[in-house]
């Protein structure tokens, strides 16, 4: 097939959703699934009771085959099913639709995903309906505003556990009956089924559960206490802030294999990617990431699940709200009070860079015409930028008004749907009730806030012009805005202490007078959303100041400034290396090491005047940090990880792997052993036999992924062909292994083996729609992109692909972003040429 090949299913148009919403009201779903019959398919019998105003509509269904479909007792012609839709001619009043079909288990993390654990051969199933995969599990009217209660009846192998959105019982082995659920949108209906290991607890009348594959039962048990504790703390805090009790019965958190996203907030049964159950030691930052994810999904139980966006164009609000609340509640009530520092390292650049791409879009109302296009805008802008702007709004409104409006929103639309407009109306009314408004006494009007911050794309750039004695605010090109920024500024004399002051930037030029050599760091605590970069005098001063900067949060802000400047060719690679050498020795945050060192290795080193010398400097910084950090600390672990991935001395890697001269406090667990093997593969200092033996010695899911990464990283033609056979689908592998093969194959310095794949990428990627779809399609297009081919010629080829008519939209979006990344890196090279 060609690039113009058509998706097998039609994506729901907003206009179609509105028409169906006006026509139908869904009373209930009754779903019968038989998961025990065979490994490839399952029988799915769905009875939908609904009322209609009478007339034509359609039901969504993506089956392997159909046994029978009856509407109000009469059989329908199943041959009318086309591209996932079956036309229905409904009666005025009550209707009953019964669809008896056979569905395929999927293996791409969507629909009812079934996978085999390589550690023990056992099978696991979970449902991922988001955002339009529910019809591959059961027949439904698949749109967020046609909510209904669900009753599931499941037949499964006798040793399986079955958990869904509502409490369940097993009256006899292999038979599971779930109670009728609260009204749910189709996109968060799930089922988790398999020989999962289960841990239970209870809090405040809410039954709690945790589950994971049997082969990682010990790791789940080790973490259960931490997970339950933070879940309980978050429940108490959400109950306090939201004033409405959690309404979905029990709260089960299932860690499931090969999950594409971080997690999915299904009411009562949240699914998480199972690498979040740690089989090896991890940094504190990785634990904070998990904690904020737990809190984020809990926030969704209210914001998203009790009240759901009416259409996908408001999906951002779900994510922005959950992201803000997830960070805030984690910082305020769990042991991870440094969650905002983690956020600065882990999320800020994700959002800022996305907001500078040609593909940038407003946070709000992306005009999503259909479900597929809404998914394209599910990015750092929806999460990191949206969260930052809600944080600003909270600072403006104050907690009293912010939560009064939010609670009003929950009460008004409980178990229903709402829009962004509804929420902002609730906030304005709450402000009126609390007597807060503008200085002039008129009621609070959020419309200019909304249009400037939520309906206009791109970040303002805020920079200090020392000579002109002003701070300049420049709106993004092509997206005019007039935004008022309230931010803090950290300044310091050489040898002095940091002083923090407040600054309001509400015009193109704000007077700002500062001594010549004083360092000025704008917005180090992320009070606003803007692109801020240090000026040259500040960069020089920072080399002396970083080693005496004892505020962890301020250092995180400085690194965000530096990274933004580097992205925009406003700081030389050599200066970044100097700053790393100045800053890392005093770091006490493992996030600082975890995020800045790999960034420097992958982005800064290739653009340095002497890449191998630059890599050597980073390696030396990492090794020193391993020695200086407390033995056994996670700070030391993060430094050791950086030392491994910057190592070029095979002898040193070999001696670590063999357990000789391992630094005191470092324990060579599975994760570190594979990190070393991957680095040996990059250097061409291992072979397929050794990698195969390592996999065979410990054949876990994690090992398979790292084996895939290492195999693709080897510097020879066979390795690249091996990776490519996976990309084009000649060899079918699960999503994490596919991703690792793509990320492994493009390595700086291996151009002689990868050059031929530059052209092949642009020729082959359009046809990958024939072998995969959804998340995995877009992720593979990203992971196999020729990121190391830093030439104008590659950029030109990428643009030709972007212009190709009929190219899948999700592939185009990823190629647009990655091409922009190449262009930025070429701009850095032009600005700081290698002599």
Residue 315 CB, nearest approach to Zn ion (Å): 9
Beta-carbon contacts of residue 710 (< 8 Å; ≥ 6 apart): 674, 677, 678, 680, 681, 686, 691, 744
Closer residue to Zn ion, CB minimum distance, 382 or 789: 382
Residue 294 CB, nearest approach to Zn ion (Å): 12
CA distance 801 to 815: 8
**Pair of tokens at residue 441:** 């006494």
CA distance 779 to 7: 17
Residue 319 CB, nearest approach to Zn ion (Å): 5
Tell which one of 128, 322, 352, 582 touches Zn ion (CB under 5 A).
Answer: 322
Q: Which residues pair with residue 486 across a beta bridge?
A: 504
- Across the beta sheet with 460-465, what order do the strands follow? 509-511, 470-474, 460-465, 530-532
Closer residue to Zn ion, CB minimum distance, 381 or 637: 381
Helix/strand/coil for 783: helix
CA distance 536 to 538: 5
Count of residues touching Zn ion (by CB under 5 A) = 2
Residue for token pair 């036309």: 87
Q: Spell out, one character per residue from 404 to 443, where the chain touches Zn ion: x when CB under 5 A holds, - when not.
A: ----------------------------------------
User: Which one, of 144, 187, 181, lies nearest residue 21 by Cα?
Assistant: 144
DSSP string, 543-602: HHHGGG---HHHHHHHHHHHHHHHHTT-S-HHHHHHHHHHHGGG---HHHHHHHHHHIII
DSSP string, 444-473: P--HHHIIIIISS-SPEEEEEETTTTEEEE
Closer residue to Zn ion, CB minimum distance, 101 or 381: 381
Burial of 287 (0-12, 13-18, 19+ CB in 10 A): buried
Beta-carbon contacts of residue 173 (< 8 Å; ≥ 6 apart): 158
CA distance 333 to 824: 40
User: Which one, of 165, 127, 119, 143, lies nearest residue 42 by Cα?
Assistant: 127
Closer residue to Zn ion, CB minimum distance, 270 or 404: 270
Residue 248 CB, nearest approach to Zn ion (Å): 16
Residue 130 CB, nearest approach to Zn ion (Å): 10
Closer residue to Zn ion, CB minimum distance, 260 or 636: 260
Of the candidates 297, 428, 526, 706, the residue annotated as catalytic is 297
User: Which one, of 378, 399, 389, 401, lies nearest residue 452 by Cα?
Assistant: 389
Query: Residue 297 catalytic?
Result: yes
Closer residue to Zn ion, CB minimum distance, 292 or 713: 292
Q: Does 390 bind Zn ion (CB under 5 A)?
A: no
Closer residue to Zn ion, CB minimum distance, 195 or 386: 386
User: Which one, of 657, 696, 658, lies nearest residue 678 by Cα?
Assistant: 657
Given 3-state DSSP classes, what are the helix, strand and coil percentages for the chain, each rounded to the nearest 5?
45, 20, 30
Closer residue to Zn ion, CB minimum distance, 101 or 295: 295
Element (DSSP H or E) covering residue 720: helix 717-727
Residue 321 CB, nearest approach to Zn ion (Å): 9
CA distance 567 to 826: 11
Residue 300 CB, nearest approach to Zn ion (Å): 5
Please give the C-alpha separations between residue 514 and each of 229, 419, 465, 493, 519, in angstroms, as whole numbers: 48, 46, 10, 10, 9
Closer residue to Zn ion, CB minimum distance, 319 or 706: 319
CB 39 within 8 A of CB 115: no
Question: Which residue number places its CB atom closest to Zn ion?
Answer: 322
What does the chain come to in residues?
Answer: 835
Q: Spell out, one character per residue from 281 to 320, where the chain touches Zn ion: x when CB under 5 A holds, - when not.
A: --------------------------------------x-
User: Which of these ranges, 212-220, 224-232, 322-330, 649-657, lies near Zn ion under the rule CB under 5 A?
Assistant: 322-330
- In the complex, which residues of this chain contact Zn ion (CB under 5 A)? 319, 322
Positions marked active-site: 297
């Amino acid at each position: 097939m060609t690039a113009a090949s058509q998706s097998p299913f039609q994506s729901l148009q907003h206009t179609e959703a509105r028409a169906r919403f006006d026509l139908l009201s869904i009373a209930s779903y009754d779903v019968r699934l038989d998961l025990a019959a065979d490994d490839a398919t399952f029988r799915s019998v769905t009875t939908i009771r609904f009322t209609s105003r009478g007339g034509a509509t359609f039901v969504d269904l993506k089956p392997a085959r159909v046994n029978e479909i009856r509407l109000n007792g009469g059989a329908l012609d199943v041959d009318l099913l086309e591209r996932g839709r079956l036309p229905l001619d409904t009666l005025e009043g009550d209707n009953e639709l019964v669809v008896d079909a056979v569905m395929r288990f999927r293996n791409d993390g969507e629909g009812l995903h079934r996978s085999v654990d390589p550690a023990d051969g056992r099978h696991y199933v979970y449902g991922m309906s988001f955002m339009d995969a529910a019809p591959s599990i059961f027949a439904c009217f698949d749109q967020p505003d046609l909510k209904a209660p669900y009753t599931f009846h499941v037949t499964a192998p006798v040793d399986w556990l079955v958990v869904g959105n509502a409490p369940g019982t097993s009256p006899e082995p292999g038979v599971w009956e779930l109670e009728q659920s609260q009204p749910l949108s189709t996109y968060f209906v799930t089922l988790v089924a398999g020989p999962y290991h289960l841990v239970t607890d209870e809090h405040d009348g809410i039954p709690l559960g945790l589950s994971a594959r049997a082969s990682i039962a010990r790791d789940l048990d080790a973490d259960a206490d931490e997970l339950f504790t933070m879940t309980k703390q978050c429940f108490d805090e959400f109950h306090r802030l939201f004033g409405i009790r959690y309404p979905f019965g029990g709260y089960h958190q299932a860690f499931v294999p090969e999950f594409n996203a971080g997690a999915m907030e299904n009411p009562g049964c949240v699914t998480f990617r199972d690498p979040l159950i740690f089989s090896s030691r991890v940094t504190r930052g990785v634990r904070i990431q998990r904690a904020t994810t737990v809190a984020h999904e809990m926030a969704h139980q209210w914001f998203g699940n009790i009240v759901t966006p009416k259409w996908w164009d408001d999906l951002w609000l779900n994510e922005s709200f959950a992201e803000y609340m997830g960070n805030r509640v984690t910082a305020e009530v769990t042991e991870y009070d440094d969650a905002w520092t983690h956020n600065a390292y882990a999320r800020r650049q994700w959002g800022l860079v996305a907001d500078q791409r040609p593909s940038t879009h407003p946070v709000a109302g992306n005009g999503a015409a259909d479900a597929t296009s809404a998914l394209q805008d599910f990015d750092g802008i929806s999460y990191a930028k949206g969260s930052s702007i809600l944080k600003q709004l909270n600072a403006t409104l104050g907690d009293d008004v912010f939560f009064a409006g939010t609670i009003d929103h929950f009460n008004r639309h409980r178990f229903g749907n709402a829009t962004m407009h509804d929420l902002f109306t609730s906030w304005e009314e709450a402000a009126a009730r609390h007597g807060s408004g503008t200085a002039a006494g008129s009621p609070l009007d959020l419309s200019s806030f909304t249009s400037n911050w939520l309906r206009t794309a791109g970040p303002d750039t805020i920079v200090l012009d020392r000579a002109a004695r002003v701070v300049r605010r420049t709106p993004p090109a092509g997206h005019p805005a007039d935004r008022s920024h309230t931010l803090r500024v950290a300044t310091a004399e050489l040898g002095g202490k940091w002083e923090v002051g407040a600054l309001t930037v509400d015009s193109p030029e704000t007077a700002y007078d500062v001594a010549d050599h004083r360092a000025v760091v704008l917005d180090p605590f992320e009070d606003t959303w803007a692109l801020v970069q240090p000026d040259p005098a500040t960069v020089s001063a920072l080399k002396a100041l970083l080693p005496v900067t004892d505020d962890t949060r301020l250092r995180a802000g400085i690194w965000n400034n530096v990274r933004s400047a580097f992205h925009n060719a406003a700081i030389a690679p050599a200066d970044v290396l100097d700053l790393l050498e100045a800053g890392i020795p005093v770091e006490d945050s493992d996030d600082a090491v975890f995020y800045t060192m790999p960034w420097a290795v992958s982005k800064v080193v290739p653009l340095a005047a002497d890449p191998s010398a630059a890599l050597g400097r980073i390696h030396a910084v990492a090794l020193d940090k391993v020695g200086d950090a407390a033995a056994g600390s996670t700070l030391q672990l993060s430094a050791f990880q950086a030392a491994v991935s910057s190592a070029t001395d095979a002898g040193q890697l070999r001696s670590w792997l063999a357990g000789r001269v391992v630094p005191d406090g470092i324990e060579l667990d599975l994760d570190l052993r594979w990190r070393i093997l991957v680095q040996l593969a990059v250097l061409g200092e291992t072979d397929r036999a050794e990698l195969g033996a390592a996999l065979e010695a410990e054949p876990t899911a994690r090992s398979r992924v790292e084996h895939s990464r290492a195999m693709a990283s080897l510097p020879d033609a066979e390795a690249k062909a091996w990776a490519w056979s996976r990309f084009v689908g000649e060899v079918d592998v699960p999503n994490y292994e596919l991703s690792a093969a793509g990320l492994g194959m493009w390595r700086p310095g291996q151009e002689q083996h990868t050059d031929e794949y530059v052209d092949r990428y642009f020729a082959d990627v359009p046809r990958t729609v024939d072998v995969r779809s959804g998340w995995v399609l877009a992720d593979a297009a990203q992971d196999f992109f020729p990121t190391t081919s830093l030439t104008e010629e590659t950029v030109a080829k990428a643009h030709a692909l972007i212009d190709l008519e009929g190219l899948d939209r999700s592939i185009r979006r990823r190629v647009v972003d990655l091409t922009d990344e190449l262009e930025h890196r070429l701009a850095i090279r032009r600005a700081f040429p290698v002599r």
